[in-house]
Structure 1
Amino acid sequence: MSAPSAPPLKLLPLILANAACMMAMNAFIALLAPLARTLALNEWQAGASVTVAGVLWFLLARPWGRLSDRWGRKRVIATGIAGFAAAYLALAAGIHWALLTLPGTLAGFLLLLAGRGAIGAFYAAIPAAANAMIADRTPVERRAAAMATLGASSAIGLVLGPSLAGWLVGGGLVLPLYAMAGLAVVALIVAIYGLPGGDAPLAPRDATPVRMGDPRLRMPVVVALVAMGSVAIAQICVGFYAMDRWGLSREHAGRVAGYALTAVGVALIAAQVGVRRLQWPPHVLIRRGAVVAMLGFLVAGFTAAPWQLIASYFVMALGMGLVFPAFSAMAANAVAAHEQGTVAGTVSAAQGIGMVLGPLAGTLLYGIAPAVPFVVGALMLASIAFWVGTAREPAVARPADEAA
């Protein structure tokens, strides 16, 4: 499509709101292990409480995106953040009660499952409507850069959330949860007063719904699925790899994993900020980013020392930092204005599938040999680089497409 007629979008409020919610999402992960031990939960129960958020993200991303085509982007973002904040506060209060009363394993498990499920269900609205808002108000040639800025804010939340939770946990396990719920309220205020309203082009009543398998979206959806699945494989395997490869203690392996994931966050920020300067089209970003990430995966599978593992994670994240904003921009460029919300939700749903399948595939492959998940991740990324590199450059929707 052509450059949007809506006024240019001021990204700062969107960046702040998204970063705050991502901080809250990832802060919980840092608290999961001690919470699970205190509530006498098994590892699979703790893992299920994380997976359920990904499942609901996948299921609801497209409906939220479609709703933003009719309600408006700001209204959906604000609704998502409000529900996210309420769900987080309810989870914090529920865990506070559980820690005081120790109601039993089943009750603790159901509490985490319900709380994380509600958080994931409302969070699904935020990236779908946020990317559609950027597509509405950003010219084609600048979309990848703008979406990279949004991605950098997610990476900041990925890094700062667990760090802040670790700092606050000295005041008890529930203090970080209440603090993150408060942070989500701040995000809601920023969204209400900082984001523009009335910006969604309403979808015509007779418009054909965008299907998950729409040919225009085949490439960005597959790339999104593979990219998020690869990231999830790397996340789930890093701690086990550090223990099994070098015989590290749980505490030492946990530190190595923490350093590796911090390196991931730093690399994502660096890469996605760099996208703004490179101004490469989406298909070039995907091809080159996938090659860089592939090299990181290959090195990770055969490292000889922990520092090499950390460095390899930095390299793989540097490549992923080019890929992530590119597939969102590629999808947005392929469709008309009234389809942006549904399409952003479709891409977000593909990421949700990757977030669900990646950990499962990673643990199954790890059971074969510690290096296997990394080799498979490298092969998937190599396939993506080859496909995108040899395919015809994706078409960009023209103004006539929007009038149809």
Structure 2
Amino acid sequence: MRAFKYLLLINSLCMAALMSFVAVVGPLVRTLGLAEWHGGLAVTIAGTLWVASSRGWGRLSDVHGRKRVLSWALLGFCSSFTVLAAYFDVVTRISLPLIGLLALLIAIRGVMGLFYAAIPVVSNAWLADNFPTDVRRAVLAKLGAANAVGMVIGPLAAGLLATHNLNLPLYFAAGLPLLAGYLLWRHVPASAVVEQGEKPTLAFADRRVRLPVAAMFLATSAVLAGQMCVGFFAMDRLALDAQAGAKVAGLAMAGVGVALILIQLVVARLHRVSPQAMIGFGSLLAAAGFAPLFLTTTPLGLIASYSVAAAGLGMVFPAAQALAANAAAAGEQGLAAGTLSAAQGAASVVSPLAFTVLYQWNWVLPYLLACALLCVLSLLAMSQTRRIKVASA
């Protein structure tokens, strides 16, 4: 399907834009004289809005159509990103009170996160609309691989542009959703809106989506444990200075992106493995990837451990998304996708602070907790697999 290829490109462009901001936010925050936690607060507020809006975006796309709502989201994401780039450009030239700098940063970054939240939700719902249940996991895995490409390309481009000007990556990134919007308008046809009967009541606790919601929350928490602690680990456990630590941390995250691309292309071909079994095995593999960090003392060991963990997590996410999509009715696909996205957003609100506090107590604790969460997820998935086998016997 030609439109599917363009939808993959749209998601890759938007992820690249988002990750471009992540790559330069630290230096920009330092340039403005803000503290590190100020940047973290802005991300937390954006995560809170992500949680609050995900199900609403999904519901809107169920009622008004996927293309229309995705167009709104891309326009809002592009506009808010442009405002964010202009904000950094202006405040580096003029003097503003600290409270004003912080309030503006939180407000603009929050709105940007609010609009971005719709993009994966509506894209997942569009895929569920246009592909039958037996191939949904494959197409969702390809969508994950497209996002992983953006995760690799975005920081790389931002790093190169930042050598000329710190604000340049933000203006570049603001143009990516604009390009994505053009591709959506030109190459993705509008789909028919599903006639709504009674208002869908799909909730977080709905039996149909309990395992996918748990998978998205627990797996995203493990991802954030790795992201939040990798730089500290490189400096503290590998005895590197800040510059060398940042370089090794960047290589580790690049390894994560490559591993995600490769594993999700493999997952797209594993049609006979059930989503429950994929979640169970993938979470165990991710835990096995984090476990060697307790003994690792070399950069290569860090990169290898993160890559193995990413491979496992790359199996969990598309399987969970496919499981929820297959369980939801036609008029609930947007709501189902929004529910899973909200679970991810909830993890992004709770986990960064929790894991960094644990790291301050003892560097082992965040990785130990990540391993424990993944083992719990594996047990939940295996338990559901067992129940299905007993019921079908």
Band of TM-score, shorter chain: over 0.9
Residues 351 and 393 of structure 1: CA distance in aligned 2, closer, same or farther (over 3 Å): farther
Question: Which residue number in structure 2 is paired with residue 217 of structure 1?
Answer: 209
| 1:228 and 2:227 correspond | no
State the one-letter code of the partner of 2:263: A
Secondary structure of the corresponding residue to residue 10 of structure 1: helix
Distance 1:352 1:161 in 2: 21
Q: Please list every run of at least 4 consecutive aligned residues from structure 1 whose deviation after the TM superposition is greater than 3 angstroms.
A: 392-395
Task: Map Cα deviations across residues 112-153 of structure 1 (whole Å, 9 max, x no partner).
Answer: 211210110001111111100100111111101100111111
State the one-letter code of the partner of 1:194: H
Distance 1:273 1:220 in 2: 21
Secondary structure of the corresponding residue to residue 328 of structure 2: coil
Shift of 1:211: 1.6
Question: Which residue number in structure 2 is paired with residue 69 of structure 1?
Answer: 62
Residues 64 and 9 of structure 1: CA distance in aligned 2, closer, same or farther (over 3 Å): farther
Secondary structure of the corresponding residue to residue 201 of structure 2: coil
Distance 1:199 1:99 in 2: 47
Give the counterpart of 2:164 among 168, 171, 174.
171
Whether contact under 8 Å (1:236, 1:363) holds in the other structure is yes
Distance 1:315 1:25 in 2: 24
| 1:273 and 2:274 correspond | no
Question: Which residue number in structure 2 is paired with residue 207 of structure 1?
Answer: 199
Q: Which moved more, 1:330-339 or 1:45-54?
A: 45-54
Give the counterpart of 1:371 among 364, 372, 378.
364
How many residues matched?
Answer: 387
State the one-letter code of the partner of 1:331: A
Whether contact under 8 Å (1:226, 1:354) holds in the other structure is yes
Equivalent residues in 2 for 1:105-124 (5 A)? Answer: 105-124=98-117
Secondary structure of the corresponding residue to residue 134 of structure 1: helix
Equivalent residues in 2 for 1:41-56 (5 A)? Answer: 41-56=34-49
| 1:249 and 2:235 correspond | no
| 1:322 and 2:329 correspond | no
Equivalent residues in 2 for 1:313-352 (5 A)? Answer: 313-352=306-345
Distance 2:363 2:257 in 1: 23
Distance 1:292 1:286 in 2: 10
Q: Which runs of 5+ in 1 are unaligned?
A: 1-7, 396-404
Shift of 1:74: 0.9
Whether contact under 8 Å (1:9, 1:137) holds in the other structure is no
Equivalent residues in 2 for 1:87-166 (5 A)? Answer: 87-166=80-159
Question: Which residue number in structure 2 is paired with residue 401 of structure 1?
Answer: none
Shift of 1:170: 2.4
Whether contact under 8 Å (1:232, 1:358) holds in the other structure is yes
Distance 1:158 1:146 in 2: 18
Question: Which residue number in structure 2 is paired with residue 301 of structure 1?
Answer: 294
Give the counterpart of 2:229 among 229, 237, 254.
237
Question: Which residue number in structure 2 is paired with residue 15 of structure 1?
Answer: 8
Shift of 1:392: 4.0
Shift of 1:355: 1.4
Distance 2:193 2:307 in 1: 37
Q: Which moved more, 1:351-360 or 1:8-17?
A: 8-17
Secondary structure of the corresponding residue to residue 209 of structure 1: coil
Whether contact under 8 Å (1:9, 1:138) holds in the other structure is no
Whether contact under 8 Å (1:330, 1:394) holds in the other structure is no
Secondary structure of the corresponding residue to residue 248 of structure 1: coil
State the one-letter code of the partner of 1:218: R
Shift of 1:391: 1.7
Distance 1:45 1:131 in 2: 32
State the one-letter code of the partner of 1:230: A
Secondary structure of the corresponding residue to residue 211 of structure 1: coil
Q: TM-score, normalised by structure 2?
A: 0.95
Please provide the CA RMSD for this pair.
1.4
Equivalent residues in 2 for 1:15-34 (5 A)? Answer: 15-34=8-27
Whether contact under 8 Å (1:293, 1:315) holds in the other structure is yes
Distance 1:301 1:10 in 2: 45
Distance 1:220 1:394 in 2: 16
Q: Which runs of 5+ in 2 are unaligned?
A: 389-393
Distance 1:171 1:304 in 2: 35
Shift of 1:248: 1.3
Shift of 1:394: 8.4
Shift of 1:9: 6.9
Whether contact under 8 Å (1:55, 1:356) holds in the other structure is yes
Give the counterpart of 2:375 among 378, 382, 385.
382
Whether contact under 8 Å (1:141, 1:281) holds in the other structure is no
Whether contact under 8 Å (1:144, 1:281) holds in the other structure is no
